[in-house]
Amino acid sequence: MADLKVTLSGLELDNPLIPASGTFGYGYEFAELYDINMLGSFSFKGTTLEPRFGSPTPRFAETPSCRINAVRMQNPGIDRVISEELPRLKKVFHKKVVANIGGFSVEEYAECCARIDKEEQVGIIEVNVSCPNVHNGCMSFGTDPLGVSAVTKAVKAVTTKPVYVKLSPNVTDIVPIAAAAAEAGADGISLINTLLGMRIDLRTRKPVIANRMGGFSGSAILPVALRMVYQVYEAVKLPIIGMGGVTSARDVVEMMLAGATAVEIGAANLVDPWACPKILADLPRVMEQYGITSLKDIIGGAH
């Protein structure tokens, strides 16, 4: 029988599948479609200190192989997430979740992470220093090793749970960014977030998205994500949650061979809300096809 279990910083998951932040809300909408407890975990909606309305519309643009979005971390704020969203989530999901936290200052990251660290249902804190749609925050920290280091140190000083730093692909070299997070005490790395992209309306001759540019995601970015996971695995001795363009069980195996211990599924959830159950159901078949009995055995197997 195929062994799908993996372990992230002491947290054992039944399988490596984790819906990515921003594509799964707080879980309960998907719980109306299927039993989300079949998932390894999931990363809930990016959360900031204060409530955020997000970008004006239109926020989405489609292409044949990807989609571009500029939601800009719309969320109800950390207090309502703790008082309303997590209790509601606990009714439908009985495993530990990944808390995705964003911010506009080092102090805000630390404050949000200190608060969410106290929540029993949170197993891992995913510090998002990489959202491309938020001005003067997130990616402005994540493209600079000093910024990543400062945020990581501040968060680690006020938390007890494992901290995974989510990095941006919008950099010349991902390795020094990951190394800065590791040296500052990160417990793991999440990568990649979306690339930057845009579309132009030929009739109006203006950008389709009100924010002009947005996060470029979908199957087209898988090769970029694989390359960066591969590079970081060789450079930094920390567990990696890999993501970016994963749409099939074969992609999951490929991402783990590159060095990921667990794999987040992002844009695929926006195209097909049953994407994760379909991938999970197909994993044992793909494992058998390639002679894999345990997923733990293939992590970093391409190196």
Name residue 182's beta-bridge partners.
none
Instruction: Determine the Cα–Cα distance for residues 233 and 51; give it in Å rounded to an integer.
Output: 35
By CB atoms closer than 10 A (0-12, 13-18, 19+), residue 12 is exposed
Given a contact cutoff of 8 angstroms between Cβ atoms, the answer to whether 148 and 180 are in contact is yes
Please identify which residue in the block is written with the tokens 């990921």.
260
User: At a CB cut-off of 8 Å and minimum separation 6, what does 7 contact?
Assistant: 13, 261, 296
Q: Which of 112, 131, 138, 276 is catalytic?
A: 131
Strand partners, 6: 13
Task: Determine the Cα–Cα distance for residues 131 and 280; give it in Å rounded to an integer.
Answer: 27
Q: Does the annotation count 66 as an active-site position?
A: no
Distance CA 222, CA 103 (A): 27
Please, are residues 192 and 228 in contact by the beta-carbon 8 Å criterion?
yes
Residue type, position 167, single letter: L
CA–CA dist 255, 258 (Å, integer): 5
CA distance linking residue 242 with residue 20, whole number of Å: 10
Instruction: Give the residue numbers annotated as catalytic, written as ranges.
Output: 131
